[in-house]
Amino acid sequence: MGDVLALVEARLRTALGEPDARAAVTFLGTDRIEVLRFTDETDEKNGAVVRYATLGMSAAPMADPTSALADPVAGPRAELVLSVRAGRADTDKVLRPLAVLAASPQVEGVVVAPGASLDVGEPLWPGAPFTSVLVTASGGLVEDLELDDPMDPVRFLPLLPMTQNEAAWKRVHGAAALEEKWLNSGTDLRDPLRRSVSLDQ
């Protein structure tokens, strides 16, 4: 499926520009996952934004863990994209946690989809108030990549870091309710050091 990953990387470059760094992580029993870093300098008001995108998760379709036999061709495919403001924290340390999340379909047999919570069990980067992320819908920053039938398109799923309180609140009230809280509070979801949104009812 190297051809799929070549198409995925080309789509990332088209949407985000040339990567300024990349790292590869290999876990026992899994294919290699790369994480590419892109820097966007276009927001003069708020400063540069760094985007981290996985490359390798979409090499194979994600299999339904309840299915007796995984389809090697058909099934949902995805890569993960995280955007944070540059220079406020050592966010490059997120490379390994992102690779862990991208490997989770292979390791744990999970299907990563919008609305899901993913937890790495440790801060996403040094000093981060987040150990988990909310997976949101694709189609905004990087357009879905159509593949030849019978393969499903590759979806580029944005990740939004969650504090522990937000993750717990989301488990009770749902992803849409948490996103509404963030929106109504004007939360800067790209701030790598932001505090939890007020969750009072």
In a domain, 83, yes or no: yes
In a domain, 95, yes or no: yes
In a domain, 168, yes or no: yes
Confidence (pLDDT) at 36: 97
- Rounded Cα distance between 71 and 57, Å, is 16
In a domain, 59, yes or no: yes
Band (161; pLDDT cuts 50, 70, 90): very high
How buried is residue 18: exposed, middle or buried, by Cβ count under 10 Å (0-12/13-18/19+)?
exposed
Q: pLDDT tens, 59-99? A: 989 976 566 566 667 789 999 999 999 988 999 999 999 99
In a domain, 201, yes or no: no
In a domain, 194, yes or no: no
15: closest CA among 129, 126, 150, 158? 158
- Model pTM score: 0.92
Query: Is the torsion defined by CA of 27, 155, 75, 147 positive or negative?
Result: negative
Above 80 in pLDDT, residue 182? Answer: yes
In a domain, 126, yes or no: yes
What range defines the domain where residue 116 resides? 2-185
Count of domains for the chain: 1
In a domain, 80, yes or no: yes
Q: Of the ranges 24-33, 65-74, 125-134, which one carries the lowest mean pLDDT score? A: 65-74
- Rounded Cα distance between 153 and 142, Å, is 13
Q: Taking the CA of residue 12 as centre, how many other CA atoms within 13 Å lie in the half-sphere pointing to its CB?
A: 33
